Structure 1
């Protein structure tokens, strides 16, 4: 194992980051605090397995349904966020960018469907 010490470590890590999504979606945490604590989890922990050894890749595959919401957060939410001021500009809107309110709306939707 390269990134996670054990299966229990992966499960605990997923649970903690699931909770961060829920807290933000339920309004118990600001989006700024969420971003700070969530710390681009999917990429930071290489949950796609690109930095893992074979043993860890098997473990990540075992939990791919638990990991999938975090891929969505990374690729479909955090990747599209811009400042709230920039989100008002047409050029950013045309590029598919959005501000924190839309990001939280998407987190709410994700939490309702997947967590």
Structure 2
């Protein structure tokens, strides 16, 4: 599993570098681009809608995994707004915390106790 965790961190590094370059050139205001493409009903808009649904699924899983708690809600909001920039290090942290136990990583501590 360690090669997988390394891959997660390499992907996060690439994303962080790319994001930094985009912010330097265009600033932080991504919403006009995101919603503007969707409003035009074009392929970039379809991709943005699809991506937004994936962000929703990531946030929903994060909230569910954390038992719909207040910290889980905060993490879910970060997951929705942060995308892979949140999910890649979060999964790496969980893998380290649970020593590679995939069930514990995906289900969380509370659900593992019920089995």
| TM-score relative to the length of structure 2 | 0.28
The structure whose residues are more often helix, as a share, is 2
Larger radius of gyration: 2
